[in-house]
A and B are shown apart, each in its own frame.
Chain A
């Protein structure tokens, strides 16, 4: 079963860390990704550029209009995701619990990915 683990954090929080803390953070992420590769659960993932670089497209007067910056001035932003293929939802949640952003005030959302398989009813 595939799950997307969505990473939300406060932009710039990494800048406030000491170098040591930063190194530890990246090492921690590296360890988890390595582990997921070795376990055969890794499907993919991406980190996103800083939210300040966002272009937002919304309809204005029936036409798509583009503005600079994120749609909502929220404290937390969508920072990236990883996709895993796990035996159980519990396992996916366990991975999310270990993601270091959670410790630094961010949050993770675990969402099942829709698949194209279906049984007639």
Chain B
């Protein structure tokens, strides 16, 4: 089934709004979520044929409400129990949605939904699946395809996530103020995971996966509209735009990964760079710096260099140092070591890597070996560099990275 892009966009925008209204009215997040999915599927079939209804939101709400009451009715019949539920049912089953349904409350609903889908009781993969379905309006089939798992597996992940939310007693309400920052960080992390899942996918046959990048940007934009005064939300959107700007340049025709320094910079998307740079530059003037803003700022510094040798490495190093200070993490240290090498020479960078050998989080990681290989190559030690590239190639679980690292090692073979 192919749905015209305009219809699909409309459906995906309306999905969280309709779900929010339904949950507020009836409670039972999981049943409402199923009902909205069914309404979306019905619309995807009918609208392209019959035309988009005059009040698409009302149409979806009406159909979803009907599905919900049908479901409750059949459950009641099955269990043959008294119908306390029906007292909640409204009389608008067939009629158009009431005016109160299309109100500014929508804005808060989408945010509340995001908080709920990224609930701490859920594992990251469940948070991702549920967010894509309930907020992104994607079908289980689409999500399953994007994550290369069977549809039944993804359906199970979604339904388990909903069960866990119910079991946790979470209500459809914004988190309490003392938890809000942490919960928002979880939401940003989920959007970042979705983005990376799409961005790192190879371009070729896996367009389904690459679509996740666009979806993550769409959700980040929506979140940014809801929370324009949050510097980290702005920073995440900027980071996504600045990273995605390199998409066309990051792989060669043969699918081989091309490192930043060797990319054809004329292929970089200047619109995305302009937007991302403006967003992060602005945010840093009024917001305390956070990890996403700093990563976006680093991406912006890379993006402004027309040639690799024009890169302002001292500036990048300063930003990495600030990032290391704010959120110390061995992966940040790896990147910092590259910047140090560019500013103070490769042996200074290698010095920074040494303590990481004793850090369990990263000691056997292919990234450590890959960065070390790169710095050893810079330092003019091809034998040691080749060994490190090979070690990195053996430990990565990414096929394109393994090809890249093997090619680097081969280049150093006499």
Contacts and interface: CB of A to CB of B under 8 A. Distances in A.
Nearest to A121: B259
A118 interface: yes
Contacts of B251: 120
A87 B123 contact: yes
Interface residues of B, number: 41
A43 B157 CA distance: 12
A34 B374 CA distance: 46
Nearest to A36: B153
Contacts of A42: 150, 152-153, 156
Interface in A99-119: 112-119
Contacts of B246: 120
A121 B404 contact: yes
B397 interface: yes
Interface string A69-112: 00000000000000001010000000000000000000000001
Interface string B331-365: 00000000000000000000000000000000000
Nearest to B156: A40
Contact of A37 (B125, B153, B209): B153
B113 interface: no
A85 B263 contact: no
Contact of A85 (B125, B197, B209, B259): B125
A85 to B, nearest CB: 6
A30 interface: no
Interface of B: 123-126, 129, 147-150, 152-154, 156-158, 160, 197, 199-202, 206, 209, 246, 250-251, 257-260, 263, 370-371, 374, 397-402, 404
Given A85-B125, A119-B401, A121-B374, 4 more contacts: A40-B158, A114-B397, A116-B201, A121-B260
